Amino acid sequence: MQEEILLVAESVSSEKGLAQAVIFEAIESALATATKRRYIEPSNILVNIDKSTGEYQTFRFWEVVDEEEFEDSGLHILLEEAKKKDPKLELGSRIEEKVDNVEFGRIAAQAAKQVIVQKVREAERAKIVDEYRSLLGELVNGTVKKVTREFLIIDLGDSAEAILPRDELIPGEVYRIGDRLRAVLQEEERENRGSQLSLSRRCPEMVGELFKLEVPEIAEQVIEIKAIARDAGSRTKIAVKTNDNRIDPVGACVGMRGSRVQAVSSELGNERLDIVIWADDPAQLLINAIGPAEIDSIILDEENQVMEVAVNKDSLAQAIGRNGQNVRLCSSITGWRLNVVDKDAVREESEKGSASLQTLIKYLDVDEDLASVLVNEGYSSLELIAGAKESDLSKIEGFDKEISEALINRSKEALLTLTMEISSENEGEENDLMAVSLVDMSLAIELNQKGIKTRDDLAELSVEELTDIIEIEANAAGELIMEAREHWFKEDK
């Protein structure tokens, strides 16, 4: 029996070109599996083979656990019970018990064969992965050997195979047995199967590797590919940099009459390729990458890695791209989150913010810094401050009870003053802005600051004019104006 084990280990090792240690491990696993069949309940079995003599010993063991981890008496033993057998035992320790060996000859045709075959296959795959490890991330050629619903099996030559998952194909690609293809070599861990070679045609590296083949300057490192952002099958952005100022990196990648970039695009199913100049400054890189849309301004939030990008209204759709594709690719290539907005909307928002600042500075008698803090914290109007609780304002950094109370009191005084100004400027009760039921004090003050001081001033506006002056929906603006005009019709009667 011992000789038989040594013979199997030696013959399989020679036949498959694997280390004998791998074969011994497979035999130990097979013997343990056969031993477990003796027991009705689950069991932990360990087999140790002497590699020099072929003799082996079999042990059953129990893991020492606490009550929370205890699952089965065939696998676990409680710490309290274990200490009765050996006071030195701790959680995680093992209690072992030697049991009778199973005959190797009896299981050779059953469990041993199955386990050994499985282990040998795993070892063969691991060996192939080790041989190809130096090529990971590079482009390889292969032939489609088998097609399944989930993946393709690709023959790489020299008995090496790799899987190409269908979700790593470029959308729309169809391959049949015997077709040749190129893809980027990767390694993946598959559950219960160990390492295995895998391929991808969808990854960004695929584009970079193809450019290395088509553009000698990239292979020679005269031109560097600094970043790639890809939406496989549709569009890719590649940022390149030259290490020789005499060479135009974009022109070199495009090639004469677009020959180089067209060759890469054809391999990728006519994928659109945007080649842009790399810049270390993320804002400049974005300007290069987002074209042909033109950027009006960029605001960088360094802490949160966010850029607010303002563009002309006519360029907004172009900057964002179909289904947000362009802005996603630009975000990926810069490494920053992007918020693309209409520059006119930004300007309006800025003007509103500026108006709020000026109101607070004027009526609260504070400097611009303090007014900015209030606006940023959400207290952008006198009404909001007057209605705030002292305890809430005091939570703002740098504010205490005294400052908060002073701001609240000044806001209330300012509102009272403005109310009196509005009333004195109106020509009688009928012409009072406050006579319009839809106008509250807050709106009256806002309108007053915009030069709309009376009910007639409001009534004479069009919906479009009012929505331009204050932030209000068109429907609400229409209702407001119509109510302001009601007294005209009463006077006519």
pLDDT (tens digit, 9 = 90+) per residue, 154-182?
998 877 888 999 999 999 899 999 999 99
Confidence of residue 223 (pLDDT cuts 50, 70, 90): very high
Confidence of residue 448 (pLDDT cuts 50, 70, 90): confident
Quote the CA–CA distance of 145 and 155 in Å, as a whole number.
6
Which residues does 218 contact at the CB level (< 8 Å), separation at least 6? 211, 212, 224, 225, 240, 253
Question: What's the whole-number mean pLDDT along residues 182-196?
Answer: 72
pLDDT value of position 459? 81
The β-bridge relationship of strands 56-65 and 76-78 is parallel
pLDDT value of position 113? 60
82, 95 Cβ separation under 8 angstroms? yes
CATH class of 426-493: mainly alpha
Answer whether CATH 2.40.50.140 is correct for domain 136-202: yes
How many helices (H) and strands (E) the chain has is answered by: 21, 15
Instruction: Name residue 404's amino acid.
Output: S
Confidence of residue 39 (pLDDT cuts 50, 70, 90): confident
Residue 56: strand pairing partners: 49
* Residue 396 pLDDT > 90: no
pLDDT value of position 248? 92
Question: What's the whole-number mean pLDDT along residues 30-36?
Answer: 84
Q: Where are the domains of the chain?
A: 2-118, 136-202, 426-493
Quote the CA–CA distance of 127 and 19 in Å, as a whole number.
10
Peptide bond into 42 cis (omega under 30): no
pLDDT value of position 473? 82
The chain-wide mean pLDDT, for the chain, equals 82
* Residue 71 pLDDT > 70: yes
Confidence of residue 262 (pLDDT cuts 50, 70, 90): very high
Confidence of residue 37 (pLDDT cuts 50, 70, 90): confident
The β-bridge relationship of strands 139-147 and 151-157 is antiparallel
The residue whose two tokens read 């659109």 is: 272
Residue 78: strand pairing partners: 65
296, 283 Cβ separation under 8 angstroms? no
pLDDT value of position 110? 56
* Residue 109 pLDDT > 50: no
Confidence of residue 115 (pLDDT cuts 50, 70, 90): low
Question: What's the whole-number mean pLDDT along residues 242-259?
Answer: 92
* Residue 277 pLDDT > 90: yes
Confidence of residue 424 (pLDDT cuts 50, 70, 90): low
pLDDT value of position 226? 94
pLDDT in tens, 341-354: 877 666 665 555 56
Q: Nearest to residue 259, comparing CAs of 207, 205, 215? A: 215
pLDDT value of position 422? 56
* Residue 23 pLDDT > 50: yes
Quote the CA–CA distance of 57 and 100 in Å, as a whole number.
8
Residue 299: strand pairing partners: 308
Q: Nearest to residue 324, comparing CAs of 304, 306, 339? A: 339
Taking the CB of residue 412, how many other CB atoms lie within 10 A of it? 15
Q: Nearest to residue 321, comparing CAs of 262, 272, 280? A: 272
pLDDT value of position 491? 57
Q: What are the angstrom distances between the C-alpha of 272 and each of 232, 240, 268, 284, 322?
A: 10, 16, 9, 22, 13
pLDDT value of position 439? 75
- Radius of gyration, alpha carbons of the chain: 38
- Of 41 and 374, the structure prediction assigns the larger pLDDT to 41
Question: What's the whole-number mean pLDDT along residues 355-383?
Answer: 76
Confidence of residue 59 (pLDDT cuts 50, 70, 90): very high
pLDDT value of position 189? 62
Answer whether CATH 3.90.380.10 is correct for domain 2-118: no
- Of 194 and 319, the structure prediction assigns the larger pLDDT to 319
* Residue 227 pLDDT > 50: yes
Quote the CA–CA distance of 409 and 399 in Å, as a whole number.
15
Q: Which of the residue ranges 368-382, 421-435, 453-467 has the most confident prediction, judged by mean pLDDT?
A: 453-467
261, 273 Cβ separation under 8 angstroms? yes
Confidence of residue 432 (pLDDT cuts 50, 70, 90): low
